[in-house]
Structure 1
Amino acid sequence: MTETAVQPPMKVAIIPVTPLEQNCTLVWCTRTMKAAFIDAGGDPERLKAAIAKAGVTIEKLLVTHGHIDHCGVTGILAKDLGVPIEGPHEADRFWISRLEDDGKRWGIPGEPFEPNRWLQDGDKVTIGELELDVIHCPGHTPGHIVFHHAPSRFAIVGDVLFQGSIGRTDFPMGNHQDLIDSITQKLWPLGSDVTFVPGHGPTSTFGRERQTNSYVSDYVLG
């Protein structure tokens, strides 16, 4: 008799969207098949195809920060699917208010929106029976947040941290020291074994970045 494989509580699929290849992440609860998109930045038809492929029901849209490639079509998709928006931190209201103008500049559809719930450090968000921690990580933008699922040792970090790099801080309201502090004081304590999905590029672990990242490794920062 063969053993039945234990189903993990959470599954994810990464769908690159927009010409900037932003990692929109579809996260779902395997017990309920309820799901959320994190950072629905563009290509809504591609995102709807991902819903059908996974066989899930979207119950909300989550946002890490207000840049166009991360949330340009979030408001449009929320209305289309009839679901609420949660996030980012209200300090990114500035960025969300200019989505239409930024969309024209970058050639990406953009529409300002008002989230149903702004998120703060220490908040929780649910997806089906999953509960994710909200961690405020300013620097790339003032209202940037990270979503962390502790039981899965997994985080979605937006543009705070990448494999081998960190988020840009030369945009309006960016702050390099705030970003370094967010990474070292908010992310590293979560554990070196945490796998993360960045806003662009391949996944990595916090431990790997602490060893090899030329911006925030333990060696570089001393």
Structure 2
Amino acid sequence: MKFQIIPVTPFQQNCSLIWCEQTRKAAVVDPGGDIDRIQTAIAEHGLTLDKILLTHGHIDHVGGAAVLAKATGVAIIGPHEADSFWLENLPMQSQKFGFPSVDKFVPAQFLDDGDTVELGNIKLQVLHCPGHTPGHIVFVDTAANMAWVGDVLFRGSIGRTDFPGSDHQALLDSIRTKLWPLGEQVEFVPGHGPMSNFGDERQHNPFVADKLFEV
């Protein structure tokens, strides 16, 4: 498995291009915008786009998904169905956050906890991790010890929980019960900012470090 992070939109959202080295099949995780840049990266690596994967329904993560799907003929997969109201409200989101107008869409497939997404010889495990949004999911390549966590967890921080449908306690529970058991060695690509690993966050993250929950 190889990947390239492509920051997109004025929010500098970490869109990721993931691909299987053997088959050259690729997926784009969270194409929030700047579709030309994403398509250029696909071409430069000589890849065939196989699917579009979404972690949640916020516009900086999904704003370019429908355009990319139409241009390439591939399916949009994810997030969890609990985020369907965010996708329905994309026109409102585009106005509120100053994005170009984005039409609502329905993905070809919603994902549930425990699902698997195949990409060539890669298998991505799906974890439902609500909190930032109710339908947020995380993609994990256990063989490569890599995770794409969207806006659940950041280096030194966690996702916002002041949006409709957000739940701070649910977010903490998602991180501690879904992500930490994967192992401290797992590296992750967050929705914004630099990569980190679960071990460092368990030691130093001021919101979810283990010491905060010791009795």
Report if TM-score (shorter chain) is over 0.5.
Answer: yes
Match of residue 179 from structure 1? 171
Match of residue 61 from structure 2? 70
Deviation readout 1:63-106 (Å, 9 max, x if unpaired):
00000000011011101111001100000001000112211222
> How far off its partner does 1:128 sit?
1.3
> How far off its partner does 1:221 sit?
2.2
Matches within 5 A, 1:10-49: 10-49=1-40
Matches within 5 A, 1:139-150: 139-150=131-142
1:96 maps to amino acid: L
Distance in 1 separating the partners of 2:45 and 2:200: 30
Give the % identical residues: 57
2:51 maps to amino acid: K
Match of residue 76 from structure 2? 85
> How far off its partner does 1:193 sit?
0.1
Which blocks of at least 5 consecutive residues in structure 1 are unaligned?
1-9
Confirm or deny that 1:108 pairs with 2:99.
yes
Match of residue 199 from structure 1? 191
1:69 maps to amino acid: D
> Which deviates the most, 70-79 or 12-21?
70-79
> How far off its partner does 1:111 sit?
2.3
- Check the 8 A contact 1:76/1:111 in 2, yes or no: no
Which blocks of at least 5 consecutive residues in structure 2 are unaligned?
none
Moved over 6 A (4+): none
1:81 maps to amino acid: T
Distance in 2 separating the partners of 1:74 and 1:89: 15
> How far off its partner does 1:217 sit?
0.2
Match of residue 221 from structure 1? 213
Instruction: Output the aligned Cα RMSD.
Output: 0.7
> How far off its partner does 1:107 sit?
2.1
Distance in 2 separating the partners of 1:196 and 1:188: 12
Q: What SS does the aligned partner of 2:211 have?
A: helix
> How far off its partner does 1:215 sit?
0.2
> How far off its partner does 1:188 sit?
0.1
In structure 2, which of residues 128, 137, 146 is the aligned counterpart of residue 136 of structure 1?
128
Q: What SS does the aligned partner of 1:59 have?
A: strand
> How far off its partner does 1:211 sit?
0.3
Match of residue 59 from structure 1? 50
Match of residue 99 from structure 1? 90
> How far off its partner does 1:33 sit?
0.3
- TM normalised by structure 2 equals 0.98
Distance in 2 separating the partners of 1:221 and 1:113: 40
Paired residue total: 213
